[in-house]
Chain A
Amino acid sequence: MNREAANISEPNLLKNQIAGTRAQNPDAREEPSAQSAEPNIKMSTKGLKVFYGDKQALFDIALDMEEKSVTALIGPSGCGKSTFLRCLNRMNDTIDGCAIDGNVTIDGQDIYDSVLDVVELRARIGMVFQKPNPFPKSIYDNVAYGPRIHGLAHNQKDLNSIVRGSLERAGLLKEVEDRLDEPGTGLSGGQQQRLCIARAIAVSPEVILMDEPCSALDPIATAHIEELIDELRTNFTIVIVTHNMQQAARVSQKTAFFHLGKLVETNTTEEIFTSPRDERTQGYITGRYG
């Protein structure tokens, strides 16, 4: 049973254009075959603490997220998984009274380094939210917005190419290619979410963060997004927060279980869901929690 690899031609074109500002580690490319090599860590946190005013929400989180792989964050409501996710692209900066301590790195580089441009960071580390939030613009302009702001296209032809390529990789192009000038808000929930994913990948991110991306979608639309995630992970690093454990089981290679602001257990998804080491993990995933 052969699967077609996701279109790789488009991102390579874009990466060449942006090579100056986002030099990839050349050594990473020359790794030997997947089976023998150590997995590459794309993002990493060490001793990460987050406070909302006086209240501590995260306690010393140390988590490695592997490149070109899906890491799922699971745990009960209020356990800190969304807070953690927002640390990864500095979205917590926008929250009043939120204080962060500790280390968050991408390719070994500290993302809280004052030298770093946070807007550019958020293009490298894209985000998709629970409720699809297309801009009140046309489908085309939704996807073109990011590339325009970041000056990623030299001319209209390039821009068209980026928009079409992103829509195709998000699995949406066929459904909308004859109405790209219609408003993005006119699409169904599942289509809107795929539009938001197209928008995120249009700026050639390295990492895509997803905060409960399928909570507002029906099972068929959810399955389409999960198939899309399967395809995207050949090119991107994906971190997904979900309170649907079964989704974490279906979609991820590694799973991290959060509980009351602490990272209780991390392992391959298969291990977590067949033989978790910690009692709290077992309690949560079997529904014996509380």
Chain B
Amino acid sequence: MTGEHIVKSYDEELQQLNSTIIKMAELTEVQVERAIKALVDRDGDLAYKIIDADDEIDGLNYDVDTQAMRLLALRQPMALDLRNVVAALKISADLERIADYATNMARRTIPLIETDPMRPIYVIPRMGQSVMTMMTDVIEAYISRDAEKALDVWRADAFVDEMYVSLFRELLTYMMEDSRRITPCTHVLFIAKNIERMGDHVTNVCETIYFLVHGERLREQRPRKTRSDRLLTNSKPKE
């Protein structure tokens, strides 16, 4: 850990930017957790709470943009400081998208509550739990600037992708069995897609943390066994 800046106010500004990101990440984590819970518990009130809370995260995103602009213009940050400021901008954009997906999930949960519970929906809480764990871990990785931890989270997204593909298959089968299931299944599919996209954005944050710590890009390819775009309605998916 490097020492303090000679000019104390510079350190204070960098610290404030750091704190804003952490606050935004923690709020996003809560939104994701609530979104999964609202869906699984079929809780409409909680769904509305999630939708209302999104404004606060948008506000923090704006704060990060303003603080980062100010730091870049007025402090001419170099090296690690520059990477910190740029990382903050990128991470807040990813967090804002994750929070938006949680809100979208909440919006889709509301019509789903009107319909009967469905069989394939058990995968959703498992996907959700994986993403929640990824979020918790990536926040810790950011706070302690731990690139190895970020890498672990980055690799864990493969599991979320696999669950998404298997859910996709199941939903297709379920819809083909009975066309009245198409509407609710489509909602579930979008919800699953939202969770899968959340996972992807968390991996973006991991890559940013890696770059922040090491000053160079992650060169590994993320492990992926199956891809949903290879699924066709009438053919067997490739293994």
B6 contacts A250, CB within 8 Å? no
A250 contacts B74, CB within 8 Å? yes
A270 contacts B70, CB within 8 Å? yes
Q: Which residue of A lies closest to B8 (CB)?
A: A3
How far is A270 from B76 in the complex, measured between Cα atoms in Å?
13
Give the contacting residue for B75; candidates A3, A230, A250; CB below 8 A.
Answer: A250
B7 contacts A230, CB within 8 Å? yes
User: Secondary structure of the B side of the interface?
Assistant: helix
17 other A-B residue contacts (CB within 8 Å) besides A223-B5, A230-B9, A249-B75 = A1-B8, A1-B12, A1-B15, A3-B8, A3-B9, A220-B6, A223-B6, A226-B6, A227-B6, A227-B7, A230-B7, A246-B76, A249-B74, A270-B73, A270-B74, A273-B74, A274-B69
Chain A proximity of B135: nearest CB distance (Å): 27
A226 contacts B7, CB within 8 Å? yes
Count class of interface residues, chain B = 10 to 19
**Interface of B with A (CB < 8 Å)?**
5-12, 15, 69-70, 73-76
A266 lies within 8 A of chain B by Cβ: no
How far is A142 from B76 in the complex, measured between Cα atoms in Å?
36
Residues of B with C-beta under 8 A to A270: 70, 73-74
Given known A250-B75, A273-B74, contact A230–B6 (CB-CB < 8 A): no
B7 contacts A249, CB within 8 Å? no
A3 contacts B7, CB within 8 Å? no
User: Secondary structure of the A side of the interface?
Assistant: helix
Residues of A with C-beta under 8 A to B15: 1
Chain B proximity of A275: nearest CB distance (Å): 9
Residues of B with C-beta under 8 A to A274: 69-70, 73
23 A-B contacts (beta carbon < 8 Å):
A1-B8, A1-B11, A1-B12, A1-B15, A3-B8, A3-B12, A223-B7, A226-B6, A230-B8, A230-B9, A246-B76, A249-B74, A249-B75, A249-B76, A250-B10, A250-B74, A250-B75, A270-B70, A270-B74, A273-B73, A273-B74, A274-B69, A274-B73
Instruction: Mark contacts of A222-261 with chain B using CB atoms, 8 A cut-off: 1 yes-contact digit, 0 otherwise.
Output: 0110110010000000000000001001100000000000
Residues of B with C-beta under 8 A to A249: 73-76
Chain A proximity of B69: nearest CB distance (Å): 6
Which A residues between 80 and 112 are near B, CB-CB below 8 angstroms?
A: none
Residues of B with C-beta under 8 A to A227: 6-8
A269 lies within 8 A of chain B by Cβ: yes
Chain A proximity of B186: nearest CB distance (Å): 45
Residues of B with C-beta under 8 A to A246: 76
How far is A3 from B75 in the complex, measured between Cα atoms in Å?
19
How far is A249 from B10 in the complex, measured between Cα atoms in Å?
12
Residues of B with C-beta under 8 A to A230: 7-9
How far is A230 from B76 in the complex, measured between Cα atoms in Å?
17
Residues of A with C-beta under 8 A to B12: 1, 3
Residues of A with C-beta under 8 A to B75: 249-250
Chain B proximity of A227: nearest CB distance (Å): 5
Residues of B with C-beta under 8 A to A223: 5-7
Chain A proximity of B127: nearest CB distance (Å): 40
Residues of B with C-beta under 8 A to A273: 73-74
Chain A proximity of B64: nearest CB distance (Å): 15
Q: Which residue of A lies closest to B4 (CB)?
A: A1
How far is A246 from B74 in the complex, measured between Cα atoms in Å?
7
Residues of A with C-beta under 8 A to B69: 274
Residues of A with C-beta under 8 A to B70: 270, 274
How far is A3 from B15 in the complex, measured between Cα atoms in Å?
13
In this complex, the member of B8, B12, B73 whose beta carbon has the largest number of chain A beta carbons within 10 angstroms is: B73
Chain A proximity of B22: nearest CB distance (Å): 15
Chain A proximity of B239: nearest CB distance (Å): 54
Q: Which residue of B lies closest to A4 (CB)?
A: B8
Residues of A with C-beta under 8 A to B10: 250
Residues of B with C-beta under 8 A to A269: 74
Chain B proximity of A225: nearest CB distance (Å): 10
Q: Which residue of B lies closest to A221 (CB)?
A: B6
